[in-house]
Structure 1
Amino acid sequence: MAYPEKLLANDEKVVEHLHPHWITLVPATLWFVVICAAAGVGIAYAPNSGTGQLVVVVLVIVVGLFLLSWLAFSPWIRWKTTHYVFTSHRVLIRRGVFRHTGRDISLQRISDVAFTQSLWDRMVKAGTLTIESAGEHGQETLEDIPRSDLMQQTLNRLIEEDSDRRARSAYGGGYPQQGPPQQGGYPQQGYPQTGQYPPTQQYPPNQPGYPPNQ
């Protein structure tokens, strides 16, 4: 799913849109299977008829839904509503459903990007990405990032491209030229410009004995 375009500037492009690694959903999936299996067993061993059967079935359903919401559905919702977005201008972080939190980090304010991986992280291709930036909340830790090593390289590349873009913008779309100015620029002392010699003057001037007689 593409990130909402209304949050982006006119010349801003989404480079990476990430959720936490899928490995974070494995416990929730296992809990879903276990709770459903336990609910099925509870209903199967309920009394065959009467009020006891109704009470047991209702109790199993209520407890099962509570456990599913807590142990299975909540992790899935948190995963879906956690966004790590790398754009050509900044890093956007969004978390939460009822209590929504977010942070935007401009690429020019980022001073360092590091990643850490345990042995298990290397096996599943995940890791933790740490972003150091100037400001009151200087450090941001993104846990369970897919391909954290590649994301570190991607973010460093975006920082360099953003720096180059700002440098070009500061000089009107190009880098400052080196060396003496070209024709049409400001005259430089000691360098005669085109059209400065008198019309009758020749360069080099004719002098007696020039060219030498053969």
Structure 2
Amino acid sequence: MGYPENVLATDEHVVLHRHPHWGRLTIPALILIIASAAAAFLAGYVNTLNWEQNAKTIVFAVIAAVWLILVGWLSIWPFLNWWTTHFVITDRRVMYRHGLLTRSGIDIPLARINSVEFRHGLVDRMFRTGTLIIESASQDPLEFQDIPRVEHVHSLLYHEVFDTLGSEESPS
């Protein structure tokens, strides 16, 4: 899925578009599986009891409500946050957008970037993810966590910055 063209300037092209690393979704996925298994087990157990049908219906509704709250809060919400988080490099800027109900973001023009660093530990390297650190001329370094293939992104961004600076400094 490409980044929406309506947020790009005229003649601006997306070089890279990434969501945070999929590893951010492992705990929400485990919670979905465990909560569903527990709800199914409880519903199956309640179904074997010799209770009145109205009592069983109420207990089923409580189980479903607890399951829905747990899954919605701890699985669906993190997935939607992951889905609506974008790290985009264009031929002119770096954009970071995140948030589901309240959106926020930052744009860093490539010409303003002073340095690009990355950091990833052993576990991050195993999952091919890491933190990208961008230092611009006007503010403290910005850290972008869980960037997939952070070394590749670092190299690509460095080359884009070099190309941008080279084109601005070259005589016309």
Q: TM-score, normalised by structure 1?
A: 0.76
Are 1:100 and 2:103 matched, yes or no? yes
Partner residue of 1:129?
132
Larger mean Cα displacement after TM superposition, 42-51 or 143-152: 42-51
- Please, which of 64, 67, 81 is the counterpart of residue 64 of structure 1? 67
What is the alpha-carbon distance in structure 2 between the residues aligned to residue 61 and residue 78 of structure 1?
24
Q: Which has the higher strand share?
A: 2
Name 1:205's counterpart in structure 2: none
1:84 maps to 2:101 = no
1:1-214 → structure 2 map (5 Å cutoff)? 1-46=1-46, 47-48=49-50, 49-135=52-138, 137-168=139-170, 171-172=171-172
Name the CA distance, whole Å, in 2 between partners of 1:9 and 1:96. 22
SS in 1 for 2:146: coil
Query: Alpha-carbon deviations, 1:119-149, whole Å to 9, x = none?
Result: 00111100011111122x4321110110111
Shift of 1:3: 1.0
Structure 2 CA distance for aligned equivalents of residues 117 and 102 of structure 1:
23
SS at match of 2:133: strand
Count the aligned residue pairs: 169
State how far apart, in whole Å, the 2-side matches of 1:85 and 1:25 are.
20
Higher helix share: 2
Structure-2 residue corresponding to 1:187: none
- Aligned equivalents of 2:13 and 2:70: distance in 1? 41
| One-letter amino acid of the structure 1 residue matched with residue 73 of structure 2 | W
- Give the structure, 1 or 2, with the largest relative contact order (CA under 8 Å, sep 6 or more): 2
Instruction: Provide the C-alpha distance between the structure 2 equivalents of 1:148 and 1:162, rounded to a whole number of angstroms.
Output: 21
Distance 2:9 2:92 in 1: 9
Q: CA RMSD in A?
A: 1.2
Structure 2, unpaired ranges of 5+: none
Give the TM-score normalised by structure 2.
0.94
Unaligned 5+ runs, structure 1: 173-214
CA distance in 2, matches of 1:85, 1:66: 33
Q: Which has the larger radius of gyration?
A: 1
